[in-house]
Structure 1
């Protein structure tokens, strides 16, 4: 956790799920120069004489160093060959504000936890709170969901209270609010557990989830919401990402993420994209 501008934030967690190695990038570069025989890696040299078999491809994908790639990256700045190496990261606990920043990086594959499909518990908590008209029930329940990158309980109670107020307003203006909030099969539960918010919440959680429930309630989502994502960069794009986002000028939350991704990136990649010294 870290305090920024008077507010305490949690930092994201990152794991490197997959990396394709630098061997294919060297093979690509040597294809350009027809120089397989000059490689210090035996698997690459063998391409000069025959198409690589499965075993050779496996050896290529385990290459840890390449003099040619280092020379092209730092002497000739021929970075297009780095696009043949890819890394995939699982990120947990960053914010939707960071997600907006990520969208500015054009060349990436990104899959993000969807508010469209994953807001059921929040909406169930609100519907249950209406059984006793208890705003504090909603705040206490949602507080336990660990939904925000901010860590200060007093601040988060304000955030959750604002979500409640927006939902309360929507409920007062939409005639069929419960129909859009819970699955049809769960509607009888509202009458069965009227007057008992805790039992109603538990029953709604155990029941069928309303399909696409987030469609009607995305207006409650703020930049403070935590998101999880899997993001894949080719090495050239990752170089650009680290250059821009590990900068003091970058938004502090995406800087934290870039720094954690960098810590989880093996040195064989960093040596080609991060200048030493």
Structure 2
């Protein structure tokens, strides 16, 4: 937990899912210079005279150090060979604001929790609040979802209250609001459980989810909402990312994320891309 600009925030969590090793990157560099025999790694020396078998490839991917890569990265700035190493991270609890910043890094693979498919609980809470509950019912229900990077309850209640107001405005303008908010098989619950907001909410939650419900309602959420994602960088792109984002000039939330990613990145990669790491 950390406070910035008078608001308390939670920090993201990061796990390194997989890394491909630096051996392939050295092999690529040795291919450029036809210098396999100069490697301190025996498996790479042997590539000069034989095609690697499965056992050799396993050993290749377990290489921890490479003098050549270090020279190319820090003396000759030949960074293209770093593109042959890839790392994938699972990120939980960063914000949609950070997601916008991430999108500016062109060379990455990124898969993000979808608002098209994951907003049913919010909409169900709103429907229940309008049929026997009230605005506070909605706020209390959504507050329990822990869906914001901000952790101040008073501030988050303001956020959720704004979501209610936007949904309420929209519901009064759309004649068939329920049909776009709730699956057809669950519409009967609204009449059957009128005046019983908790029972209505539970029934909607247990029923079939409306497909793509976020298409109509994603406008209600802000950059403060948490997102989960998996990102894969090649090592050259990761160098660019950490150089720019683990910097005092970076947006503070993406700086926190870059710092957490650095913590779980093996030292053999940091040695090639981050000074004094």
In 2, distance between residues paired with 1:201 and 1:185? 14
In 2, distance between residues paired with 1:46 and 1:178? 68
**Does 2:119 align with 1:135?**
no
In 1, distance between residues paired with 2:145 and 2:231? 24
**Does 2:252 align with 1:252?**
yes
Partner of 1:112: 112
Name structure 2 gaps, 5 residues minimum: none
Deviations for 1:139-163, whole angstroms, at most 9, x for unmatched residues? 0000000000000000000000000
Partner of 2:191: 191
In 1, distance between residues paired with 2:133 and 2:8? 31
Contact 2:193/2:200 (CA < 8 Å) preserved in 1? yes
Deviation at 1:6, TM superposition (A): 0.1
Written as runs of structure 1 = structure 2, the 5 A alignment for 1:14-53 is: 14-53=14-53
* Total equivalences in the alignment: 277
Partner of 2:210: 210
Partner of 1:228: 228
Displacement over 4 Å in runs of 4+:
none
In 1, distance between residues paired with 2:44 and 2:122? 54
Deviations for 1:192-250, whole angstroms, at most 9, x for unmatched residues? 10001000000000000000000000110200000000000000000000000001000
Contact 2:242/2:258 (CA < 8 Å) preserved in 1? yes
Partner of 2:7: 7
Deviation at 1:276, TM superposition (A): 1.6
In 2, distance between residues paired with 1:190 and 1:37? 75
**Does 2:243 align with 1:243?**
yes
Contact 2:133/2:196 (CA < 8 Å) preserved in 1? no
User: Which secondary structure state, in structure 2, belongs to the residue aligned with residue 26 of structure 1?
Assistant: helix
In 2, distance between residues paired with 1:71 and 1:209? 55
**TM, length-normalised to structure 2:** 0.99
Deviation at 1:133, TM superposition (A): 4.6
Partner of 1:76: 76
Partner of 1:152: 152
In 1, distance between residues paired with 2:132 and 2:200? 10
In 2, distance between residues paired with 1:6 and 1:252? 14
Partner of 2:95: 95
In 1, distance between residues paired with 2:51 and 2:133? 72
In 2, distance between residues paired with 1:229 and 1:109? 10
In 2, distance between residues paired with 1:116 and 1:110? 17
Deviations for 1:66-95, whole angstroms, at most 9, x for unmatched residues? 000001001100000000000000000000
Name structure 1 gaps, 5 residues minimum: none
In 1, distance between residues paired with 2:60 and 2:127? 57
RMSD over aligned Cα, in angstroms?
0.7
User: Which secondary structure state, in structure 2, belongs to the residue aligned with residue 17 of structure 1?
Assistant: strand
User: Which secondary structure state, in structure 2, belongs to the residue aligned with residue 205 of structure 1?
Assistant: helix
In 2, distance between residues paired with 1:29 and 1:42? 15
User: Which secondary structure state, in structure 1, belongs to the residue aligned with residue 172 of structure 2?
Assistant: helix
Deviation at 1:132, TM superposition (A): 1.6
